[in-house]
Amino acid sequence: MTQEQMTLDTADATIDVAALGDQLLGRWADIRKKSRALAGTEAVRGTPGLGMDDHRERVFGQLKVLVDSGAVHRAFPRHLGGEDNHGGSIASFEELVVADPSLQIKAGVQWGLFGCAVLHLGTQEHHDKWLPGIMSLEIPGAFAMTEIGHGSDVASIGTTATYDADTQEFVINTPFKAAWKEFLGNAGVHGKAAVVFAQLITRGVNHGVHAFYVDIRDENGFPPGIGGQDDGLKGGLNGIDNGRLHFTNVRIPRANLLNRYGSVTEDGTYSSPIHSPGRRFFTMLGTLVQGRVSLDGAATAASKVALQIAVTYANQRRQFNASSDTVEETLMDYQRHQRRLIPRLARTYAASFAHEELLAKFDGVFSGATETDEDRQDLETFAAALKSLSTWDALDTLQECREACGGSGFIAENRFTQLRADLDIYVTFEGDNNVLLQLVGKRLLTDYGQEFRDLNAGVLARYVVKHAENVALNRSGLRSVAQAVADTGSERKSANFFKDEANQRALLTDRVNAMVGEIADALRGVSTKDRAKSAAAFNSRQDQLIAAARAHGELLRWEAFTRALAETTDTGTRTVLTWLRDVFALTLIEENLGWYLMNGRLSMQRARTLSGYVNILLDRLRPHAQDLVDAFGYGPEHLRAAIANGGENERQDEALEYYRRLRASADAPVDEKVLIARAKAAKKAAHQGGKK
Amino acid sequence: MTQEQMTLDTADATIDVAALGDQLLGRWADIRKKSRALAGTEAVRGTPGLGMDDHRERVFGQLKVLVDSGAVHRAFPRHLGGEDNHGGSIASFEELVVADPSLQIKAGVQWGLFGCAVLHLGTQEHHDKWLPGIMSLEIPGAFAMTEIGHGSDVASIGTTATYDADTQEFVINTPFKAAWKEFLGNAGVHGKAAVVFAQLITRGVNHGVHAFYVDIRDENGFPPGIGGQDDGLKGGLNGIDNGRLHFTNVRIPRANLLNRYGSVTEDGTYSSPIHSPGRRFFTMLGTLVQGRVSLDGAATAASKVALQIAVTYANQRRQFNASSDTVEETLMDYQRHQRRLIPRLARTYAASFAHEELLAKFDGVFSGATETDEDRQDLETFAAALKSLSTWDALDTLQECREACGGSGFIAENRFTQLRADLDIYVTFEGDNNVLLQLVGKRLLTDYGQEFRDLNAGVLARYVVKHAENVALNRSGLRSVAQAVADTGSERKSANFFKDEANQRALLTDRVNAMVGEIADALRGVSTKDRAKSAAAFNSRQDQLIAAARAHGELLRWEAFTRALAETTDTGTRTVLTWLRDVFALTLIEENLGWYLMNGRLSMQRARTLSGYVNILLDRLRPHAQDLVDAFGYGPEHLRAAIANGGENERQDEALEYYRRLRASADAPVDEKVLIARAKAAKKAAHQGGKK
């Protein structure tokens, strides 16, 4: 069947829900299904309304259930009972969010942050000594990186680890209040140990941030020199005991330095396989990328749950009867409701396909299959971009779904509010989204610069001229005028333009390139010698740079969605998914329409047809909305929302039956409105009779 | 001083914080201050982390404190101990949100909804009989309007009140499950009575929805025929005992019909001062507009609290040191942070000034001073538009402020998360925001139609031609081309254009008019005879209509902000507020830039200067951000946020002092980076020395 035939055949396009479900489950489908099955059980799911203390104890108990189910050891070495399966481990872990985000994050603290810090920053000796206890939960632990004074800027933390060659110990110290470790899961109550990040100082030299294994609690609580404070109640994730820690000259053995990237000999000599302190720091922090990868997946899973509940309800719930006397409209038939839910559904599909690619990239790097410097950098950038977009999107989707279900959406048992409260912090932890996007933006700028690094001046000059010509052409609006001439009067031509994959790619790519180019051009003239001036110049473009990074992330999602279409074998499914991909692309272009117009990428005529065309696509997708959410594959044991279990339909049937019987009976009251209308009609008839 | 001089004098513009504070407090400043003082006391403020049951009891107890403080009787008649002060009552009530939104809404249920239903829908006899007990809280009551099956569409509720002339009673009945009353505050536990909305049926005729006073609980709980169910845990407002109620042929005296707008005589004859059932229904519902008015004020107050906390923190907190070796940047100095907080500050000012005008309008109508049909309609439209915008804005502002404070924003004691959780429901209760905006949109369409109702065909035809010409002129881009010619190369000219009040008004007004005109034109040809077709045509424009209503609401805010500028006497304050108003207007235009461009209202050249000019304004406003939030006037007893109490500054001073001393001492460690740089320099010097 040709592309054209496929597109024409829209009337009977149907989705193969099972096949689409399998496609969404992706490469680690079996592990994902196993984790989902576990997440749906009574033993690990959240209990709404538990007080903070009870919630913490329940989640801690649930961690043991995870251990017993073999759900959390996949990332660890085979010889210690793990599977060396990095992608699978994340796939399994992120599905836990549907049980209770507190469980997901507490597990993430224990095995993702604390455990994997020992795994990735430590060496064989550390693995053998501590990983078994970490894996079995014998040693609950904290990941002590963030301080009160420094979260995003980890390099500037204040905690010190000073080597004392006389005793062959490191002395961990918190020099001032702002250097207290802060927001650490497991630090409030359960943690027995911590991986503590501190400035490593030996022989009078500060070698920068390194990680140290420190015992923080025994049966009597904190040992001398260690103190802490419970962070208490939070906006969500109250199943986790976040807290603060501080150290007053706490001595630990030299061997407790997790020394994969930096060692200190007995006499205090420092050495590292990575010469540059800057690169060393980023390499150490790079091992933590899995947190971002898993948050991207978990946030996307939460969006799926929200949409599955809200679309199911919108397909049952009715309100107002504009088009008929007796039957009210289903919410999903309102254009505004379609506008609220379907573009978010499209975005969630894009996020899901993009996450699958991110997970593959992650697995490649962490398994060692594709582990060049460039791979690592790409992974970092990819994860930073996707984590930022999907965590913000989850909050937005959960909220819109909550509102789309009205007051019922606000009742705790319908899930939205607690999920949203828990996921709130996802947008600022494991890298604040704005800071992450700025990193993505800087990488884009660097890449932009590197394109020309090895070219000689002549080529560069030609490029600049060409680039400048393009800018001038776009800005003068000549390109859009040309479009206008081609389009005049034809909405169909315009629709054909917008649904063309190559055009979507060109529009989305062009925006990223042009924005980055504009920033690069603006910063090119600024001297980097005057630090304050260059910082000010950069700051004056910060907002634009973050916007460019967002646009880049959306482009990555579009590419992933488009690649997924190519892998969709069922024709009907591919047809519907193509409309959904088009909605994803075109609502992005709608959101940034000002940019496309003022930079001459779209003509006024074409732009004016865009919203109408999106509405047509929404209308076309509307009958498939239920299939599209059902393909997410979550069962009632995951949704656990009373409004999505069919009760609404039952109530409506009961009400309809009541009114049907009433109308058929003798004692049905007449509406006053009807009486008034009848009286008017009678008066008119009498008047006309009189005339005769 | 001329406008020009004022604008030039930007360097030393300062805000008179006290005077601006007074201006913001508005007409009911004294009452507002009294209510704030009460809201800051230990007795009425919220306690984070209370379980649901304890929270409910605490809030119920706090209602008694409000009674004892005389805080809740202002709207009631003088002869019963009230003040007949409608505007003042709302002003006082909405300030309670800073104590605990549960308290505000529980008070709103008791005295605003339940009490005012008796006041406005009942007559003298009802007032004398029940208002004293309602005012004193002897009779806690529920407002039983919404049903499981019908929230937004009140006219379709299923509960019936059938008059039985034999016993002179109304029989209240719930005919099916979907007609259970739902989400009623006070129904879960505390309510002893309820105003129940039901279809009034007498002598075989249904006269539509009326209100009835029903006793629902005595010392033994529900009497026979009444049942209920607790709604349990919600996403927020857990200090309120929402619940369901249902009635099985419950008999109440004829006199319990709240009969201001509809009476039934002993023999069952119905009469009403309002002949049209439709108008009668909307008049009865119209008395409930105060709920929307007060939510507008409360939501705006919550935004103020959030901004006062977040801006204070952003002025203290530092992170990263791009511009210097020793001093880190204050968050507020980052362009992105300014972009996040200052436009929301501008919007909150606009909302505050607009709310003050809404409150005056409300007071005029409810005091009887300005009470024409048009006044009532304007009030309804005004309240619907502002309530929708400000409640959504509060969620957005609370969230952005939470994120801007990072992890600290997520700790419960810093207020954002609980306020946001509580205010979540504000966007869908007392009228779902999307439904309210649709009502606003319909009113705009009606007004648009009425402009021409009395004109003869000739005039109308001329208008249509003229209108069409305008459309053509705009769409062909001729207007924007003209702008482009005038602007070429001058960013200053463009800035002058954007800061001109008349241009801002024209751009904002034009968008509303043009959007409404476009929808009206599209619907004009549709026959209203085929109900399904006409409903479908309307539905195809629903999203656009709601967008037009939003734009209308924003225009109302802009007008109110601009009028407030004219009343600002201090020159420095007016200068700064004018920039803030400009930011409000121009970020609105930025958000809708696509519309302005594709409809030829702005040239590409001019549009491209807009974001840069907004950034300049933000930079100019940055030093005034603290004054602008301080003028909101909330004290530490209202903010109650640890991060806004100066602790951050203290910690930073301690850390700075530590590093200063360390640098001055002999045993300061040297950074490895510095050593590497020194080594490089030495090598270079040796190399050059060798060359010599």
Encode pLDDT of B653-669 as tens digits.
999 999 999 999 988 99
What mean pLDDT is predicted for residues A140-155?
97
Convert A36-57 to b/e letters by CB count within 10 Å (16 or more is b): bebbbeeebbbebbbebeebbe
Residue A477 has pLDDT above 70, yes or no: no
Distance CA B87, CA B85 (A): 6
Encode pLDDT of A109-130 as tens digits.
999 999 999 999 999 999 999 9
Rounded to a whole number, what is the distance in Å from the CA of A684 to chain B's nearest CA?
Answer: 18
Out of A146, A204, A395, name the one closest to residue B669 (CB).
A204
Residue A154 has pLDDT above 90, yes or no: yes
Residue A280 has pLDDT above 60, yes or no: yes
Report whether B500 contacts B606 (CB < 8 A).
no
| pLDDT > 70 fraction of chain A, expressed in percent and rounded | 92
- The identity of residue B9, as a single letter, is D
Best to test chain B binding among A56, A162, A176 (most B CBs inside 10 Å): A176
| Tokens encoding A291 | 């947190």
Would you place residue B297 in the very low, low, confident or very high pLDDT band (cuts 50, 70, 90)?
A: very high
Distance CA A189, CA A141 (A): 10
**According to the model, what pLDDT value does residue B7 have?**
47
Rounded to a whole number, what is the distance in Å from the CA of B83 to chain A's nearest CA?
Answer: 34
Report whether A277 contacts A287 (CB < 8 A).
no
Residue B477 has pLDDT above 70, yes or no: no
**Sign of the four-CA dihedral A513, A516, A518, A520:** negative
- The identity of residue B201, as a single letter, is I
**According to the model, what pLDDT value does residue B420 have?**
98
Would you place residue A322 in the very low, low, confident or very high pLDDT band (cuts 50, 70, 90)?
A: confident
**According to the model, what pLDDT value does residue B22 have?**
98
What mean pLDDT is predicted for residues B595-609?
95
The candidate with the shortest Cα–Cα distance to A143, out of A107, A115, A180, is A115
**According to the model, what pLDDT value does residue A1 have?**
35
Asked if the Cβ–Cβ distance from A204 to B670 is below 8 Å, we say: yes
Distance CA A77, CA B288 (A): 66
Distance CA A317, CA A648 (A): 6
Distance CA B38, CA B347 (A): 27
| Tokens encoding A656 | 């309809």
Q: Return all residues near B298 (Cβ < 8 A) that are at least 6 apart.
A: B93, B94, B96, B97, B101, B104, B426
Distance CA B643, CA B636 (A): 11
Which B-chain residues 349-378 have CB contacts (< 8 A) with chain A?
none
* Second CATH level (architecture) for the domain A143-275: Beta Barrel (2.40)
Asked if the Cβ–Cβ distance from A403 to B146 is below 8 Å, we say: no
Residue of A nearest to B332 (CA): A539
Which A-chain residues 169-208 have CB contacts (< 8 A) with chain B?
175-179, 182-183, 199, 201, 204-208
State ipTM.
0.95
Report whether B599 contacts A611 (CB < 8 A).
no
Convert A556-575 to b/e letters by CB count within 10 Å (16 or more is b): bbbbbbbebbeebebebbbb
Residue for token pair 């905690």: A159
Residue A133 CB-density burial (10 A; 0-12 exposed, 13-18 middle, 19+ buried): middle
Question: Which of the residue ranges A172-186, B143-157, B212-226, B522-536 would you say has the lowest mean pLDDT?
Answer: B522-536
What mean pLDDT is predicted for residues A413-432?
97
What mean pLDDT is predicted for residues B405-415?
97
**Sign of the four-CA dihedral A115, A117, A119, A123:** negative
Where are chain A's structural domains?
3-12+289-636, 143-275, 646-691
Q: Return all residues near A468 (Cβ < 8 A) that are at least 6 apart.
A: none
Domain B289-636, CATH among 2.30.30.100, 3.40.50.2000, 3.30.450.70, 1.20.140.10: 1.20.140.10
Superfamily of structural domain A3-12+289-636: Butyryl-CoA Dehydrogenase, subunit A, domain 3 (1.20.140.10)
Report the range out of A486-495, B370-379, B478-487 with the highest average pLDDT: B370-379
Would you place residue B450 in the very low, low, confident or very high pLDDT band (cuts 50, 70, 90)?
A: confident
Rounded to a whole number, what is the distance in Å from the CA of B334 to chain A's nearest CA?
Answer: 6
Rounded to a whole number, what is the distance in Å from the CA of B364 to chain A's nearest CA?
Answer: 32
B651 interfaces chain A, CB cutoff of 8 Å: yes
**According to the model, what pLDDT value does residue B324 have?**
80
Residue B148 CB-density burial (10 A; 0-12 exposed, 13-18 middle, 19+ buried): buried
Asked if the Cβ–Cβ distance from A208 to B672 is below 8 Å, we say: yes
Residue of B nearest to A540 (CA): B335
**According to the model, what pLDDT value does residue B527 have?**
76
**According to the model, what pLDDT value does residue A472 have?**
64
**According to the model, what pLDDT value does residue A460 have?**
47
Encode pLDDT of A542-590 as tens digits.
999 999 999 999 999 999 999 999 999 999 999 999 999 999 999 999 9
What mean pLDDT is predicted for residues A292-321?
97
What mean pLDDT is predicted for residues B331-348?
98
Best to test chain A binding among B338, B428, B479, B656 (most A CBs inside 10 Å): B428
Out of A270, A319, A667, name the one closest to residue B153 (CB).
A319
CATH 3.40.50.720 applies to domain B17-136: no
Asked if the Cβ–Cβ distance from A410 to B425 is below 8 Å, we say: yes
Report whether A149 contacts A432 (CB < 8 A).
no
Report whether A184 contacts A226 (CB < 8 A).
no
Would you place residue B325 in the very low, low, confident or very high pLDDT band (cuts 50, 70, 90)?
A: confident
| pLDDT > 70 fraction of chain B, expressed in percent and rounded | 92
Residue for token pair 């779902």: B432
Would you place residue A6 in the very low, low, confident or very high pLDDT band (cuts 50, 70, 90)?
A: very low
Asked if the Cβ–Cβ distance from A604 to B477 is below 8 Å, we say: yes
The candidate with the shortest Cα–Cα distance to A598, out of B635, B602, B661, is B602
**According to the model, what pLDDT value does residue A379 have?**
96
Encode pLDDT of A349-404 as tens digits.
999 999 999 999 999 999 999 989 899 999 999 999 999 999 999 999 999 999 99
A671 interfaces chain B, CB cutoff of 8 Å: yes
Rounded to a whole number, what is the distance in Å from the CA of B160 to chain A's nearest CA?
Answer: 11
Which A-chain residues 37-66 have CB contacts (< 8 A) with chain B?
48-49, 51-52
For chain B, the distance separating the N- and C-terminal CA atoms, rounded to the nearest angstrom, is 69
Rounded to a whole number, what is the distance in Å from the CA of B84 to chain A's nearest CA?
Answer: 33
What is the residue-wise DSSP string for B564-609? Answer: HHHH---HHHHHHHHHHHHHHHHHHHHHTHHHHHHTTSS-HHHHHH
Best to test chain B binding among A528, A597, A670 (most B CBs inside 10 Å): A597
**According to the model, what pLDDT value does residue A418 have?**
97
Report whether B349 contacts B373 (CB < 8 A).
no
Which A-chain residues 97-126 have CB contacts (< 8 A) with chain B?
none
Q: What is the mean pLDDT of chain B?
A: 93
Distances (CA, A) of A552 to A386, A445, B440: 10, 12, 38
Interhelix angle A277-286/B672-691, rounded to 10 degrees, is 150
Asked if the Cβ–Cβ distance from B594 to A599 is below 8 Å, we say: no
- The number of residues in chain A equals 692
Report whether A162 contacts A169 (CB < 8 A).
no
Residue A466 has pLDDT above 70, yes or no: no
Residue B311 has pLDDT above 70, yes or no: yes
Q: Return all residues near B324 (Cβ < 8 A) that are at least 6 apart.
A: A531, A532
Distance CA A341, CA B510 (A): 30
Residues of A in contact with B595 (CB under 8 A): 593
Distance CA B644, CA B310 (A): 8
What mean pLDDT is predicted for residues A204-221?
97
Which A-chain residues 391-450 have CB contacts (< 8 A) with chain B?
395, 399, 402-403, 406-407, 409-413, 416-418, 420-421, 424-425, 427-429, 432-434, 438
Residues of B in contact with A399 (CB under 8 A): 395, 424
Rounded to a whole number, what is the distance in Å from the CA of B282 to chain A's nearest CA?
Answer: 14
Question: Which of the residue ranges A324-333, B67-76, B414-423 would you say has the lowest mean pLDDT?
Answer: A324-333
Give B458 or B95, the one with higher predicted confidence. Answer: B95
Best to test chain A binding among B47, B156, B176 (most A CBs inside 10 Å): B176
Four-CA torsion A269, A273, A277, A279, nearest 10 degrees? -170
